[in-house]
Amino acid sequence: MPGESLLDRAACPKHMEYGPCGGVELDGTCEVAADQGGPGRCVFLEVPTVRWHGAAPAEARAASGAERMRALLATKQIVVADFPARALDAASLAECAAALRGAADAVLAGDSGRERVQFPPAYRTALIRAEGVEVWSGFTCRDRNRVAMEGELAALAHAGVVGVHCVTGDHTRTGSRRDAAPVFDLDSTQAASLARAAGHLVSVAEAPATPPVERRPARLLEKERAGAEICFVNHAGGVEPVAAFIGAARQLGSNLGFIPCIPVVLDRASAELLKSFTTLVLPPGYLDRILAAPDPRAEGVAAAVELGRGFLALDSVVGVNLSGGTGHGGELEFARALAEIAGALGGGS
């Protein structure tokens, strides 16, 4: 079929059809090292952008959470905060949700920055929503086959998520559970189609600073054709690079709404966690400005608000994402700082 990948899916450690993922290192190598079974250089860099050749987005009945978020997006730019609670700790989820209630428009509850084993997305959603906080759920392809994914998407709709953020996911060989077998039955583009068919508001991520930089807007367009409505823009170096990426996507015909990620750094623990993100590109001097300040927390809040206001002034930006986390024991204080930043940027009611 025209536009299909020229690659055997087995050539990619994640078995992707619509690659490359956001895990390509800045020098073009795969996130899975060659001595761990990786291919060395990302196999998708040498082939044209894979066109979406699945079905057109299904016109499914919208889930109630998706309807709530679409209605909110029609009235304002939103603030979505990464959710910093400890994995497998219901009390931590509750206290972090309480700290963010009324400040962020939703929390992005996705993969933990430190731990692979977590509550299932729908159960985690129910715990957070019980505290009065809307949930935009992360949805990774790493740990489930397509049947389990269909069941989880149905559960997420019942739990009332306002959005489903579809990512391929980091490979198990790069995380804390290298003993776990990777699944990757689908990739993020295929997951976006599946989530849209289940009635969800679907978001995807794109990494403008990650090779192949010049083809990232075209890859995003294929995710849109599969069913995505929102793009979370990974850390790309500041306002100007994000504006350039959005402009390039618009020139190709994209109608997505964009939510740039704001790096939130309050201390060395949060800086170290942020540095663990794949192919992180921060504004020049951003970390040094914060960590060298007499009060890093206050400076980190001020830097995030400043960058957020720059993003919110861009055309096609429908909101911002407060991105990051902290070390064990600092989750509640980090959530409180996120609430402070969210409030300054106009989040909440």
Query: Region 77-96: what's the mean pLDDT?
Result: 96
Which phi-psi region, left, alpha or beta, contains residue 84 (left: φ > 0; alpha: ψ -120 to 50)? Answer: alpha
| Band (56; pLDDT cuts 50, 70, 90) | confident
What pTM was estimated for this model as a whole? 0.94
Predicted pLDDT of residue 104:
98
- Residue 80 confidence (pLDDT) above 60: yes
Amino acid identity, position 293: A
Predicted pLDDT of residue 1:
41
- Helix/strand/coil for 230: strand
Q: Where are the domains of the chain?
A: 61-344
How far is the C-alpha of 178 from the C-alpha of 124, rounded, in Å?
A: 24
What is the C-alpha R_g of the chain?
Answer: 19
Nearest alpha-carbon partner for 4 in 190, 144, 177 = 190
Nearest alpha-carbon partner for 318 in 195, 254, 232, 208 = 232
Which phi-psi region, left, alpha or beta, contains residue 329 (left: φ > 0; alpha: ψ -120 to 50)? Answer: left
Report how far apart the first and last C-alpha atoms of the chain are (Å, whole number): 49
Count how many Cα atoms sit within 13 Å of the Cα of residue 67 in the half-sphere of its side chain. Answer: 7
CATH class of 61-344: alpha beta
Predicted pLDDT of residue 115:
75
| Band (294; pLDDT cuts 50, 70, 90) | very high
B/e letters for 181-207, b = 16+ CB within 10 Å, e = fewer, are ebbbbbbbbbbbbbbbbbbbbbbbbbb
B/e letters for 303-324, b = 16+ CB within 10 Å, e = fewer, are bbbebbebbbeeeebbbbbbbb
**Which two structure tokens, joined as six digits, stand for 147?**
């049947």
How far is the C-alpha of 248 from the C-alpha of 231, rounded, in Å?
A: 14
- Residue 4 confidence (pLDDT) above 60: no
How far is the C-alpha of 293 from the C-alpha of 297, rounded, in Å?
A: 9
Condensed to tens digits (0 to 9), the pLDDT of residues 215-264 reads 999 999 999 999 999 999 999 999 999 999 999 999 999 999 999 999 99
**Which two structure tokens, joined as six digits, stand for 10?**
């087995």
Nearest alpha-carbon partner for 42 in 67, 16, 78, 68 = 16
Dihedral angle sign, alpha carbons of residues 52, 54, 60, 66: negative
How far is the C-alpha of 130 from the C-alpha of 203, rounded, in Å?
A: 23
Predicted pLDDT of residue 237:
95
| Band (38; pLDDT cuts 50, 70, 90) | confident
**What angle in degrees, to the nearest 10, is found between the helix axes of 188-197 and 216-226?**
30
